[in-house]
Amino acid sequence: MIPGSNNDHPSFRKSFLFAIQGFRTAVRTERNIKVMIGGGIGAIVAGFVVGLDPLSWAIVLVCCGVVISAELLNTAVETVVDLVSPEFHPLAGRAKDIAAAAVWILSVLVAVVGIIVFANAIFF
């Protein structure tokens, strides 16, 4: 719904299609989302190679989804910041850096979880 508009919300189907459109746009235009998807695919392939148990699969898949979602949110934050502050402003840069830092911290923690899950599958 657009603020100040009397139009109803789009249908569930339209909302779903908007989400798909947003995902496609991010994949086409953002390098980091491609890196995150590639990492997720690598983790899934590695899971098949080492024969993960169901709980480990759940952990790996949730971690992949959370990192990709965080990167999408980071992209959205950066896009909005660019919209409202087309010229350089220190606060705009700070907002973008903090959003990127959130994804970086999450990625580091997910990597640690991945090491634990795959070490458990390989050695125990």
| 0.85 surpassed by pTM | yes
Burial state string for 49-69 with b = 16 or more CB within 10 A and e = fewer than 16: eeebeeebeebbeebbeebbe
User: pLDDT tens digits for 41-69?
Assistant: 999 999 999 999 999 999 999 999 999 99
| 87 noted as active-site residue | no
Which entry of 30, 71, 78, 87 is annotated as an active-site residue?
A: 71
Confidence of residue 3 (pLDDT cuts 50, 70, 90): low
Query: What amino acid is encoded at 46 in this protein?
Result: A
Percentage of residues of the chain with pLDDT beyond 70 = 94
Which pLDDT tens digit goes with each residue over 81-116? 999 999 999 999 999 999 999 999 999 999 999 999
